[in-house]
């Protein structure tokens, strides 16, 4: 058995999925609220399917130091949206399929687009300027 150290986790992604116009409106509000509360890198909207994802979504990337604040907050505020949270350890296939946690509905992940190994992720440069206490 080979165990990985915690510092194998370079960063995390939360993928916020939405299905249809009602859920997209919820996703829009959540996106604003996340940006007001957390130091994260919010990715662009993917209204079409991209990468291994089988439902429209946007990505929220964050450093390990933000995990203990952001993940509990999205647990209790996701308003029924499916959320995938996965670490980035340089193993995209395992990170999405084996190391991930799901909130709500568990969606299909298209593993054929995920390599086994990947260069280390760059450090996350947040694009938010939080002013609201979570």
Residue nearest Zn ion, Cβ-based? 13
Site string for Zn ion, 66-85 (x = CB under 5 A): --------------------
Q: Applying CB under 5 A, does 13 fall inside the site for Zn ion?
A: yes
Which part of the chain contacts Zn ion (CB under 5 A), choosing from 6-14, 17-25, 42-50, 75-83?
Answer: 6-14
Helices (H), the chain: 20-37, 64-77, 92-97
Nearer to Zn ion (CB atom), residue 25 or residue 113: 113
d(CA 34, CA 38) in angstroms, rounded, equals 6
Q: How far is the CB of 13 from Zn ion (least distance, A)?
A: 3
Nearest to 79 by CA among 132, 33, 12: 33
Nearer to Zn ion, 26 or 97 (CB): 97
Nearest C-alpha neighbor of 18 from the set 58, 76, 70: 58
As a whole number of angstroms, the distance between CA 58 and CA 2 comes to: 33
Q: Which is nearer to Zn ion, 43 or 130 (CB)?
A: 43
Angstrom CA distances, 89 to 16, 63, 108, stand at: 20, 12, 21
Of 11-19, 74-82, 108-116, 119-127, the segment contacting Zn ion by CB under 5 A is: 11-19
| CB closer to Zn ion out of 21 and 114 | 114
Is 53 a binding residue for Zn ion by CB under 5 A? The answer is no
Helices and strands, number each (H, E), in the chain: 3, 5
Task: Point out which residues bind Zn ion (CB under 5 A).
Answer: 13
């Amino acid at each position: 058995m080979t165990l990985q150290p915690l510092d194998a986790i370079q960063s995390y992604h939360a993928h916020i999925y939405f299905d249809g116009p009602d859920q997209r409106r919820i996703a829009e509000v959540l996106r604003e609220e996340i940006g007001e509360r957390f130091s994260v890198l919010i990715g662009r909207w993917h209204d079409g399917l991209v990468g291994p994802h089988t439902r429209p979504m946007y990505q929220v990337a964050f450093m390990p130091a933000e995990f203990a604040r952001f993940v509990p907050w999205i647990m209790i505020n996701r308003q029924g949206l499916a959320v995938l949270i996965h670490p980035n350890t340089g193993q995209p296939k395992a990170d999405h399929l084996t190391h991930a946690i799901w909130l709500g509905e568990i969606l299909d992940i298209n593993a054929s687009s995920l390599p086994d190994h990947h260069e280390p992720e760059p450090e996350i440069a947040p694009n938010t300027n939080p002013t609201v206490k979570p």
